[in-house]
Amino acid sequence: MSKVAVVTGGTRGIGRAVCERLKADGLRVAAIFAGNDAAAAECRQALEILVLKCDVTASLECRAVVREIESLLGPIDVLVNNAGVTRDAALHKMEENDWSTVIHTDLDGLYNMTRPVIEGMRDRGYGRIINIASINGQKGQFGQTNYSAAKAGVIGFTKALALESARKGITVNAIAPGYIDTDMVAHVPHEVLEAIKAGIPVGRLGRPEEVARCVSFLASEDQAFITGATLTVNGGQYLV
């Protein structure tokens, strides 16, 4: 029986590429999205995967969506925590809502989705959890105290859960993408983005498929010895 994967923020950008890749790998895939109904409909039709609406900041909704996916596809073997938002502003100009929206989505969302999935993985003795962090959680970024804090938190969460899960056949890893050609990066002011691009040794933005390829690797059944790691995918922009 093929494995079941769930991808949060799975209908656009990196998440969509991950869904496409995991489906091509032979997994049964469910994508979760929060708001963009048009993108979700397009994704459902193009990829022919299960697409469900769920706000990762709402723990009860997350529990319900996990139950629904398990009843439709079977137990969840692979969880890709990809959902994330930005609300960029220097801290001295940042509204409380910009802080809390990013922390609730990018960090609390990780707890809300992983908590209902982890017990089943432990019981079955198998799981692959891949958390999408960011270069900016590793190096910091002007205008992103909220996002950098959340993404650094994702890396800490990954390491701690990897230790808790290692004896249970579950690997937990993070991927730290740099600037990838998605809607999120397209919102960065033009001149700022040009300056960032100039600092990427590979000389271009990354492609969502390049991150998806890494997820596919970490999600594979025969890769069970990498855990607690953060895989850097940033074109050489920041070397850790």
Nearer to ligand CAA, 118 or 184 (CB): 184
Q: Which residue's CB is nearer to ligand CAA, number 14 or number 121?
A: 14
Q: Are 217 and 223 in contact (CB under 8 A)?
A: yes
Report which residue's Cβ sits closest to ligand CAA. Answer: 143
Positions in the binding site for ligand CAA (CB under 6 A): 86, 88-90, 93, 134-136, 141-144, 147, 177-179, 184-185, 188-189, 192
Nearest to 128 by CA among 79, 73, 164: 79
147 is catalytic: yes
How far is Cα 154 from Cα 132, in angstroms, rounded to an integer?
8
Look up residue 18 and give its DSSP letter.
H
Cα separation, 45 vs 33, in Å, equals 15
Smallest distance, ligand CAA to C-beta of residue 184, A: 5
CB of 9 to ligand CAA, least distance (A): 12
Total residues found in the chain within this entry: 240
- Asked if residues 234 and 177 have their Cβ atoms less than 8 Å apart, the reply is yes
| C-alpha dist (Å) from residue 201 to 81, 175, 198, 212 | 28, 19, 8, 21
Smaller CB separation from ligand CAA, 178 or 235: 178
Question: Could you tell me the smallest distance in angstroms from the CB atom of residue 132 to ligand CAA?
Answer: 8
Q: Which is nearer to ligand CAA, 141 or 220 (CB)?
A: 141
User: Are residues 127 and 22 in contact, defined by beta-carbon separation less than 8 angstroms?
Assistant: no
Q: Which of 111, 126, 147, 179 is catalytic?
A: 147
Smallest distance, ligand CAA to C-beta of residue 75, A: 31
- Which residues are tagged catalytic? 147
